[in-house]
Structure 1
Amino acid sequence: MRKAVPLMIQGTHSDAGKSAIVTALCRIFVQDGFKTAPFKSQNMSLNSYITIDGKEIGRAQGVQAEAAGIIATTDMNPILIKPTGNYQSQIVVHGEPFKNMKAGEYREDFFQQGLKIIRDSYDRLSASYERIVIEGAGSPAEVNLNDRELVNMRVANIANAPVILVGDIEKGGVFASLVGTLQLLEPEDRKRVIGVIINKFRGDVSLLEPGLNWFEEYTGVPILGVVPYIDNLIIEAEDSVVLNQYTSKLDASKELDIAVIRLPLISNFTDIDPFFEEPDCHVRFVNSVNDLGAPDLLILPGSKNTIEDMMFLHSSGLANRIMDLVQKEMVIVGICGGYQMLGNSIEDNYQIESVHMKVEGLRLIPLKTKMTPTKTTVHSKGIARFGEENIPVSGYEIHMGESYFEDECSHFIQLPGRNEGAMTRDKQIFGTYLHGIFHNDLLREILLNEIRFKKGLEPIRNRASFAQKREASFELLAKVVRENIQIERIHKLLTDFQKVEIKHNETKEKDKK
């Protein structure tokens, strides 16, 4: 059976833009007639994506699959590492929790098992697609880790993939980082690098040309493109490092102030993305009482360790400040871990997430949560009750805990066969396990107009569809990348690389005989 033609995208460091380039290439290759899939052997992320069969993978691979117009599977990200704090991470294998491990234990005890999982997953994908776009992690030149790494050059060798190295010029020192990375690679690995892409460029490319020419002469590696910085892309990030770009300060030019608590172990923060696209909203991420102010809407997002993050709210003084603001009629929403924090208490008797077995919540709804060994991962559709409105909604659940009411409380969402979430009668406080709740355009519109009404502002009707804006971002990303890289040359380099590999393998077979 003929196998897929692979291409691997590696970077000089984390956040060089590998995920975005892979997303763009997935869309470009599909546009050029190739059945394409993404692949990342091992992903460390607290932003998850739920596959159609209820499994958990890194969000980037789910997004890349969408860009390629295919259904995401766990083979596209067979190993997901989710940091839980206390120097441990939850290891998710093919979408299901496998074990909590410390870094040393993972490197020593899981390596061979992980290698087999990766090989098997890649082989299945390769048998089903014509192109595989593989994403690395961090840098392939981390010499302290390379003897047992499972995500960069070892995967390139497994797939027999050529590599394009991506450097981020926005942070400065791009030529030094590219040259340094190449020089630190083993000679056999360096041969896999068919070119580099310089990413996130702002300015006149002609001013960069002397550096481009020097780089090619010095390294012998071609520059395959200079991709400009693209503003206003609506494509979810997977790494919380992107939160550093968001301000904690109020923007008085916007009518609605939305504050999101930046929990130490924040997860699935992409739940907030639709608000960035609303013309009347300013979104802030805050982690201190001084920055919180008095927002119109406060969002408690998801958490990978709800007890530890709840303890942070108490120790930072944010819990007391939130209680004060609730008395002043601020609207507050909790999602997943944030929903659990709205309740009376959170217990972890099995120490699944935390060494602390119980913490008091904000006590804003009569909810009690107990952590359980079984993780819920499921797509959900239902009807949200928002006052007199019944609104169709959809989303996905990822949580370890089970919650139940200790007193009478109204449910927020009616799902098939069960009720979900909670809402106070005055619609001031509500919570849900449903990630993606704000991606439902009508619910988001009604919520924002409710807040506008309280402030004496006219409602805004028929807000733009977030899903349509997101699809337009896929198209924009692919268009800009295509226009700024040598895509035809890349197609030829992939073909030529495979021819060389085939000839090399044939020679080895002859030598054996």
Structure 2
Amino acid sequence: MFNGTPLMIQGTHSDAGKSAVVTALCRIFAREGYKTAPFKSQNMALNSYITRDGKEIGRAQGVQAEAAGVVATTDMNPILIKPTGDDHSQIVVHGSPYRNMKAGVYRQDFYELGLQIITESYRRLKKEFECIVIEGAGSPAEVNLNDRELVNMRIARLTNAPVILVGDIEKGGVFASLVGTLQLLEEEDRKRVIGVVINKFRGDVSLLEPGLKWFEAYTGLPVLGVIPYVSGLHIEAEDSVVLDSYSKEKDGTKELDIAVIRFPYISNFTDMDPLFSEEDCHVRYVQKAEELGKPDLVILPGSKNTLSDLRFLHESGLANRIQTLVELGTNLIGICGGYQMLGEVVVDEYEVESSLKVGPGLDLIPMKTHMAKEKKTVLSEGMLAFNGKQFLMKGYEIHMGVTTVSDRKDVMPFVVLRDRTDGVQIGNIIGTYFHGIFHNDSFREELVNTLRLKKGLSPIINRSSFDRKREESFDRLADVVSSHLSMDRIKEKMVEFQRLNNKEVGEAHGEKV
């Protein structure tokens, strides 16, 4: 039935649930036997995913590929924009840094090249896959940007994809946002919308029925489904706005308190997801010194602008508070940019991340970091010695820093790879360039049980595999979405658009269709 057939999911705003719906559809179509690929032409995100060939794409597309049971490639997200400041971003093309650009310059000078890159990527996917689920970004009704946008209706027209518009009822005003978005679309684009989906619904759907009937009568479009809020999913979020929903305060019902510092330019915060899955761990994101308290573990996550985030630590008072906690014996882990902050100084003489050039670190580890011109992106694997035990450690690296650690007897490497070492262990501090360390079940269990023993609690043995929980989450999400969407109607529209496209192509070539 499908032959390179697209379906596009757009939303009324960011965090409407587009990524989750695309993830669900990738799993649904894959379970039906279709070779399925996700596609997001241009993604703005600080959460990255490393492909098997060591390239960098948006994490959501990597996760969606996993849900579809296929290997992620850069064609699934050919352009990745990683903000480094209020008006600057690093532009990543096919998994490698292209250049740092201002928003206005990118919009003016990159559009034609970007469109060419996107078109070529999509054509390759179309040849290889039976079904392509496309994700938009933000809203298609951003009228100030639509003349040169590369991710919403421009892509729907390029791929001749039918569009489903997703609205988030949890934020309120869902009918207003859906109707308003539709009215701001060009007529050609409005005709491409085959229906809408209301997402994250809680409660009795019968109370929503009058609104659904009104919407369909007013717009002439069907409501293709009302998807209930699905809690407890272990699927990575992409947009950092999700962090606003996380707690800042300690949860007294959980035995372990883990505080993650929320930098202004936090990246790859999905590193923490496996800790959220542990029933005895309360993970909270902290932005102020007075919020930190006395946690059992402090984590400094990745950063897209290490020097700016270091300055944030010092100016907010968090730096002094963290140093005091470490002296009192609190465990501290720094990952990637957070690892760089643990040293004596960070130097960015080439201004690859910011114009600050140099800044003092937390001075907790005898090491220095210099930002290089080339970014390292690689899947990594090595052996870790922790608490007298050996663990296989798998992860990925995305960094432009080169860190030199002083040769001292009390400083041990974190991971030993075949040709090098990574990171450090010194007392109650761990620093590493490895992302994904908590996704390693054996190490995570040992670490969490170490925190438990430190508090006089008994260890919990044979904790659940996080990968197994993710797979179960993919299936549970797919089950919920498929049971609440008019899948037959959606597939009919996909085939209808494909048939019309084939007819237009044939007529353009003078063929009889």
1:169 — aligned with what? 169
* Residue type at the aligned position of 1:388: G
CA shift for structure 1 position 299: 0.2
Aligned pair 1:128/2:128, yes or no? yes
1:325 — aligned with what? 325
1:155 — aligned with what? 155
* Residue type at the aligned position of 1:280: D
1:472 — aligned with what? 472
- Range moving further from structure 2, 201-210 or 138-147: 201-210
Deviations along 1:307-355, one digit per CA (max 9) or x if unpaired, are 1101110111111111111111000000000111111110001111111
1:60 — aligned with what? 60
1:451 — aligned with what? 451
CA shift for structure 1 position 499: 2.0
Q: Is contact 2:3–2:130 with CA below 8 Å preserved after alignment?
A: yes
Q: Classify the secondary structure of the residue corresponding to 1:208.
A: helix
1:236-275 maps to which residues of 2 (within 5 A)? Answer: 236-275=236-275
* Residue type at the aligned position of 1:276: F
Of residues 421, 424, 446, the one that matches 1:422 is 424
How far apart, CA to CA, are the structure 2 residues paired with 1:140 and 1:86? 22
- Range moving further from structure 2, 470-479 or 381-390: 381-390
How far apart, CA to CA, are the structure 1 residues paired with 2:507 and 2:390? 68
CA shift for structure 1 position 501: 2.9
Could you state the TM-score of these two structures normalised by the residue count of structure 1?
A: 0.97
How far apart, CA to CA, are the structure 2 residues paired with 1:33 and 1:451? 45
How far apart, CA to CA, are the structure 2 residues paired with 1:302 and 1:206? 44
2:91 — aligned with what? 91
1:289-438 maps to which residues of 2 (within 5 A)? Answer: 289-408=289-408, 409-424=411-426, 426=427, 428-438=428-438
* Residue type at the aligned position of 1:142: E
For structure 1, the residue ranges without an aligned partner over 5 or more in a row are none
Number of aligned residue pairs: give it.
509
How far apart, CA to CA, are the structure 1 residues paired with 2:3 and 2:31? 20
How far apart, CA to CA, are the structure 2 residues paired with 1:439 and 1:132? 28
How far apart, CA to CA, are the structure 2 residues paired with 1:509 and 1:184? 34
Q: Is contact 2:18–2:136 with CA below 8 Å preserved after alignment?
A: yes
Structure 1 residues 214 and 364 mapped into 2: Cα distance closer, same or farther (>3 Å)? Answer: same
CA RMSD of aligned residues (A): 1.3
1:140 — aligned with what? 140
Structure 1 residues 511 and 185 mapped into 2: Cα distance closer, same or farther (>3 Å)? Answer: farther
1:498 — aligned with what? 498
Structure 1 residues 86 and 138 mapped into 2: Cα distance closer, same or farther (>3 Å)? Answer: closer
* Residue type at the aligned position of 1:414: V
Identity of aligned residues (%): 65
Deviations along 1:240-295, one digit per CA (max 9) or x if unpaired, are 10000011101111111100000010000000011111111111100111100010
Q: Classify the secondary structure of the residue corresponding to 1:101.
A: strand
Deviations along 1:73-94, one digit per CA (max 9) or x if unpaired, are 0000000000001510000000
1:15 — aligned with what? 15
CA shift for structure 1 position 368: 0.6
How far apart, CA to CA, are the structure 1 residues paired with 2:130 and 2:502? 17
CA shift for structure 1 position 28: 0.5
How far apart, CA to CA, are the structure 2 residues paired with 1:115 and 1:3? 23
How far apart, CA to CA, are the structure 2 residues paired with 1:31 and 1:187? 35
- Range moving further from structure 2, 271-280 or 73-82: 271-280
- Range moving further from structure 2, 145-154 or 360-369: 360-369
How far apart, CA to CA, are the structure 1 residues paired with 2:278 and 2:166? 32
CA shift for structure 1 position 407: 3.8
How far apart, CA to CA, are the structure 1 residues paired with 2:378 and 2:356? 27
Deviations along 1:404-425, one digit per CA (max 9) or x if unpaired, are 113412111101111111001x
How far apart, CA to CA, are the structure 2 residues paired with 1:213 and 1:73? 42
* Residue type at the aligned position of 2:419: G
How far apart, CA to CA, are the structure 2 residues paired with 1:223 and 1:387? 56
CA shift for structure 1 position 509: 5.5
How far apart, CA to CA, are the structure 2 residues paired with 1:380 and 1:498? 41
CA shift for structure 1 position 467: 0.7
CA shift for structure 1 position 506: 4.5
Q: Classify the secondary structure of the residue corresponding to 2:128.
A: coil
* Residue type at the aligned position of 1:43: N
CA shift for structure 1 position 507: 5.0
